[in-house]
Structure formats: structure tokens, C-alpha cells
Structure 1
Amino acid sequence: MSEQIDPSEVADVPGRGGLVDTYGRIGDDLRVSVTDRCNFRCTYCMPAEGLPWLPKNEVLTFEEMTRLVRLFLSLGVRSLKLTGGEPTVRAELPKLVRMLRDLDPDVDISMTTNGFLLDRLARPLAEAGLDRVTISMDSLLRHRFQEMTRRDALDRVMEGLRAAEEAGLTPIKLNCVVIAGTNEGEVVDFA
């Protein structure tokens, strides 16, 4: 993209430039929520049903996201983290990754995902420029995984993890929400 940034759109932090908080810490990473939708219904995150989604016209387009990211890159952001909801449910996600990669070939681009759709998306995402993934996995026991996510999907998530590794989306990180009385006994299993 050849669109230039208007300097008036870029905030100037007196004396420092870039993004600096009130404690002097430099903000160099940006989380980009690509959707509010999710294909799981984790008990600690959302109700089983009845959650209203944003209307499509209220969700940023890829072009709008890219414009915002371009501004943040000009302020010193060096790391982009794609999140959601569940980012892989957003149609044409590899296209967004390619658009972001084209902004800066050196920016680090990662994604947090539940892994359910990675079996088919890992390679296209890697080819588009995604560097690595963080997979949310709260149990290695099928019944407990299903209880926590309300989806019988552990096998598919494990396939997604393998696909991510084969596609080179490494190092792979795991997120695990530990809930007393539910899965705290599995913490060592994740180590």
C-alpha cells in the first residue's frame, strides 16, 4: 500500500516520541481484535447462548485495521497480536495477515486462538506472514475440555497444534485458564 500517513494523525508524545505511558514505559506491542465472535462458549468467557454479536457494519474492515496499524507502527509498535473473540472465524484472515505483513516485513505478528480451525488455516496464515501462535487449551482431558469449552473439540485442537508446528508457527505458546475445583490438578501436565 502506498498511502502516506498524515503527520497530523500521529500523536506526538512530548520529549519522547512514540507511545509512552505515565510511568515512562514504551508501548511497542498492539493487540488487534479482529472479531467479537467465537466458535467456543468457554464457561469463564461467555454464556452458552444469547450473546449478541456486533453488527457487521460495526466491525472494522481489514482496510480500517490496516490503516490503524500503520499509524501505530509509525509510533514505534514492533509487535502485533491478533485476538478476538476467535480470530480464525473471521473470513479471509490470511488476507489480513498479508496486508499487515506488507506494512512492515520486520514487525512480529502473532495470534491467540483456540486452535479449532488451525488444521486448515495454519499453513495459509504462515504463508501470509504470521510468525507464531498462542493456543488456548484449558485441559488435556477430553471430558474436562468439553465441560470448559462446551465443545467436544480437544482432538481437533490437538490437530491444529500439530498443523501450527508443521507450518512453522513457532514457538507455540499455550494459554491455560486454571479454575479451582475444575482443572487445577492438570497444571503440571502442561509443563
Structure 2
Amino acid sequence: MDPRKHLIDSYGREIRDLRISVTDRCNFRCTYCLPEEGIDWLPRSELLTFEEITAISRIFVERFYVDSIRLTGGEPTVRAQLPRLVSMLATLKTHEGKKVNLSMTTNGVTLPLIAEPLRDAGLDRINISLDTLRADRFLEITKRPQFERVLEGIEAAQAVGFHPLKLNVVAMKGINDDEIVDFATFGRDRGLQVRFIEFMPLDGANAWDQAAVLSADEIL
């Protein structure tokens, strides 16, 4: 008897994707996500080792038909030696004998340094989070003067062959809703897939406000 089984949610949908937070730490302090000061990070001893992450992932892939793994954080690229973890996960094979699809969501600021090692290690896809195309507004949202570095990260990811490259934009009324068309143009001109993300109550900085939620209809 085959011991494997599909994971099914309460709506009867198959779960084929595994999302792994490799760290709670982040090098940005986005206003809707984290407070600027006073964050209690997990002790490093409490983070799963790369070997533990790989072992858990193997169980999901080999027993439960998971065929896609996404690395997140916090900001996953602040985890030291991340390409080594990618190379370990890249050895996993789906029930069809194919390589597991590996992706990552990042703020992009370290990609000028790490995009090529990640690609060489076996990372397949990247989503980059960017909520504004204005340097002054970027500083207001992230509390970090790294706008140009993120743009360099986008270029670096494309240069080493990450395609399609997706751009995640948290759309917020009164904050960046005047940039919707700018983002659409930016994506079209650079071959990026722009995705507008709902402003959700992450509550890290107690900044969520229902009035700031921008609907899909309004975006269109």
C-alpha cells in the first residue's frame, strides 16, 4: 500500500505548496509589519537548522505530495549561508521524480550580492516585495534608505535568469494608491509580473486600518 496521502484543506483543495520561514529577523521595518524599535527576536538556538528544515521538507514532499517550497522570513536572505539550504532542498524529488520547485519571497536588498549564488544553488523563482517607486516614500514605509539597492536587486535577479520575476505590492489607500498605474507601467517595461497584495492585519506594528484596504475593483 502506498503510505503517501494528499493534504486536503476544509474546502477540499489539495495543498501542494509548503511555506517555510527561515528566520523572523528582517533588515527593514515596514510600517504595516514591524515596529521600528523594541522587537524581541527569537534566540538563534530556537531556529531550525538547515538539516532540520530539509528533513521536515522531505516528509512533506515524499509523504504528502508537496511539490513546491517557498522560503520566507522575516527576510530570508539575512539568514547566513542561505544558498546552502537551497542546495539541500534542491535535492528533493517529487512523487513524479522531478525536482521540487523552489521559490523565495524577499525585499530584494541583498540580491546584488546573493542572486547568483541562489540561482546556482537551485532556486527557481523569486518574488520581490516593493510598495513604492518613490525613494522618499520608500524611506517612510521601510525606515531604511535602500530604494536604489532594491532596484539593483531586481536587475541582479533578472541578470542571472530568474524569470518570471514577480513584484509584490501591498496596495494601501492614502499611502501608495496613487502609484497603481506607475507600477503597472514599471512591470510592463521591465518584464516583471506585478501583483497587488491586500493590506492585511499583520499587527506587528498595530498599524492596520480597514479604511486603508484597497479592493481589486478599485485597483482595476
Count residues in correspondence.
178
1:71 is matched by which residue type in structure 2? I
Q: Look up the match of 2:53.
A: 65
- 2:114 match: secondary structure: helix
Q: Look up the match of 1:40.
A: 28
Match for residue 86 of structure 1 among 61, 75, 98: 75
State the 4+ residue runs in structure 1 displaced beyond 4 angstroms. none
Query: 1:19-34 to 2 correspondence within 5 Å?
Result: 19-34=7-22
TM-score, length-scaled by structure 2: 0.78
Q: Look up the match of 2:129.
A: 136
CA displacement 1:160-183 (0-9 Å, x = unmatched): 000000111111101111221111
Deviation at 1:184? 0.6
Match for residue 120 of structure 1 among 95, 99, 113: 113
1:100 maps onto 2:93 in alignment? no
- 1:80 match: secondary structure: strand
1:170 is matched by which residue type in structure 2? H
Deviation at 1:23? 2.3
- 1:31 match: secondary structure: strand
1:89 is matched by which residue type in structure 2? V
State whether residues 132 and 168 of structure 1, in contact with CA within 8 Å, keep that contact through their aligned partners in structure 2.
Answer: no
Deviation at 1:22? 2.5
Flag structure 1 segments of 5+ consecutive residues without an equivalent. Answer: 1-6
Which whole-Å CA distance do the structure 2 matches of 1:130 and 1:189 have between them?
29
TM-score, length-scaled by structure 1: 0.90
1:98 is matched by which residue type in structure 2? S
Which whole-Å CA distance do the structure 2 matches of 1:180 and 1:170 have between them?
30
1:140 is matched by which residue type in structure 2? L
1:173 maps onto 2:166 in alignment? yes
Share of identical aligned residues, percent?
56
1:162 maps onto 2:134 in alignment? no
State whether residues 41 and 149 of structure 1, in contact with CA within 8 Å, keep that contact through their aligned partners in structure 2.
Answer: yes
C-alpha root-mean-square deviation of aligned residues, in Å? 1.3
Match for residue 50 of structure 1 among 18, 28, 38: 38
